[in-house]
Amino acid sequence: MIRSPARRAHSLVELMIVLSVLSSLITVSIGWIHQSMKLSKQMHSRQAHQTNLTRLTRMIRDDARTADKASVDGQTLTLPSLDVVYQIDGSVIQRTEEIDASTTRTDVFELQPGSRVHWIETELPTAITLQVKRSSGTPIPSRLPPSDDPNAASSDTTDRNDLHLRMELNRYARFGVKP
């Protein structure tokens, strides 16, 4: 019996099968990488939004506690005793403080696109209320049980209340504390 020499290579069919399996794995892994990068970007955006809300909350509370009066004119809150003005422009809030006649300090708080910001003036002159809501166009997975109605929405698109901040004016003076 004659022995055939040991086979040292792979057939073309075996190589094609290995290449097709590898290309499938690469396609799936690229999809996973893309999805994880997209989620990372969304989380970074949400974190920046929350950080700006936290900074804004701290500044407004400190200003309101030391201010003795405030006035709201449309999208502008003015604290005349501190020479501080908060101006809302879309989803951006700008705080301008006049330190002296030649020096002003400006802080900008950029919120997520689609955020609606407004002052609630019903409690003036004793308190200030700021409300930040995210637009209703952002779908939230429905928390309701599925409906048999084909016209029912598959997601809850109600407004999200990101911030509802109520501050008392001149609170430090009331307790005899100097800031």
Predicted pLDDT of residue 114: 82
Task: For the chain, give the mean pLDDT.
Answer: 82
Convert the pLDDT of each residue in 105-115 to its tens digit.
Answer: 999 999 888 88
In a domain, 166, yes or no: yes
In a domain, 32, yes or no: yes
In a domain, 89, yes or no: yes
Convert the pLDDT of each residue in 36-89 to its tens digit.
Answer: 999 999 999 889 989 999 999 999 988 988 888 888 888 999 999 889 999 999
* Alpha helix positions (H), the chain: 12-66, 171-174
Convert the pLDDT of each residue in 115-172 to its tens digit.
Answer: 888 888 776 677 888 888 876 554 555 555 555 655 555 454 566 788 888 888 887 6
In a domain, 78, yes or no: yes
Distance between terminal CA atoms of the chain? 103
Query: Measured between alpha carbons, how far is 162 from 48 in angstroms, rounded to an integer?
Result: 13
In a domain, 108, yes or no: yes
Residue 117 burial (10 A CB sphere; 0-12, 13-18, 19+): buried
* Domain around 98: 14-138+159-174
pTM higher than 0.75: no
In a domain, 36, yes or no: yes
